[in-house]
Amino acid sequence: MNYKINKILNKKNKSKIVCLTAYSKNIAKILDKFCDIILVGDSMANVLYAEKNTHNLTIENTIQHTLSVRRGVKKNLLVVDMPKGTYKNIAMAKKNAKLIISSTKCDAVKIESNSNNFNIIKELASSKIPVMGHIGYTPQFKNKFKIEGDTENEKNKLIKEAIEIEKAGAFSIVLECITSRTAQLITKRLKIPTIGIGASSYCDGQVLVTDDMLGLSGFYPKFVKKFTNLNRIIEKAVKKYSREVRKKKFPSKKNFLNGSKYR
């Protein structure tokens, strides 16, 4: 098994797993210093392409962004979301997962659960393709946002689903927008690590969409903590640049290119 995956598995019950999303090299390079997992999430459809959901993201787009991210990642486990419609059946899932891994050299793929695609995880895992599962609010299969796991029925269904995904061979599982008690029960029950987003601190690790936690996306539901306000910081810098260009303060003599030195 990939030693990076072993490292993640070994963190269960020992130390928290830190995961964030990246869609490009510069951000990935920063995340790589502080995280354990970098996810090229299909959230890029909303965050970068201003789509209303993740449904139209293509595999070509995903590969293109992962190639950029790959260049910024040295230490982290690099996981890539398989876009909607690219794992409808076993043959398609295998072909596309292999394509993503061979063309980007990522370490693993993530697939969302529709409560019924455990056989796909099983086939990928037995073909030595590391898979991260994803349950709860799964945007590829649900049109409306809903917190999951609040009723007894939902709780039991999610626990069963998580167990099936572990049995199928996934090495970890994202729990998205799941009530704290249900997330706690799933985390206790599974041997593989759970990575939560809006699923409380009981999970083995946490993931957020980087643009959200940096205050860049404008999307701040209760489960997102804005760790900085990059919007305001960028606005300030751009405003200063614009003022200096208009006032002919930039470029100044020290920015002129005379002779052969450009640094």
Regarding 21 and contact with ligand KIV (CB under 6 A), the answer is yes
> Cβ–Cβ contacts within 10 Å for residue 226, how many?
14
Specify whether 176 is catalytic. yes
DSSP 8-state code for residue 210: H
Cβ-Cβ contacts under 8 Å for 221 (sequence gap 6 or more)? 198
86-145 residues in contact with ligand KIV (CB under 6 A) are: none
Q: Is 174 within 8 Å of 132 (Cβ atoms)? A: yes
Q: Which of 164, 176, 235, 244 is catalytic?
A: 176
User: How far is the C-alpha of 15 from the C-alpha of 248, rounded, in Å?
Assistant: 53
41 contacts ligand KIV (rule: CB under 6 A): yes
Which CB sits closer to ligand KIV, 219 or 250? 219
The answer to whether 134 and 158 have CB atoms below 8 angstroms apart is no
Place of tokens 């690099």: 78
- Least separation in angstroms between residue 18's CB and ligand KIV is 13
Given 93, 197, 199, 203, the residue binding ligand KIV (CB under 6 A): 197
Structural element, H or E, at residue 100: helix 90-104
152-188 burial, b at 16+ Cβ within 10 Å, e below that, comes to eebbebbbebbebbbebbbbbbbbbbbbeebbbbbbe
Nearer to ligand KIV, 41 or 133 (CB): 41
Near ligand KIV by CB under 6 A: residue from 73, 93, 129, 174:
174
Does 207 contact ligand KIV by CB under 6 A?
yes
- Does 182 help bind ligand KIV (rule: CB under 6 A)? no
Q: Is 204 in the site for ligand KIV (CB under 6 A)?
A: no
Report the residue closest to ligand KIV, judged by CB.
41
Task: Give the residue numbers annotated as catalytic, written as ranges.
Answer: 176
User: Footprint of ligand KIV on this chain (CB under 6 A)?
Assistant: 21, 39, 41-43, 81, 174, 176, 197, 207, 209
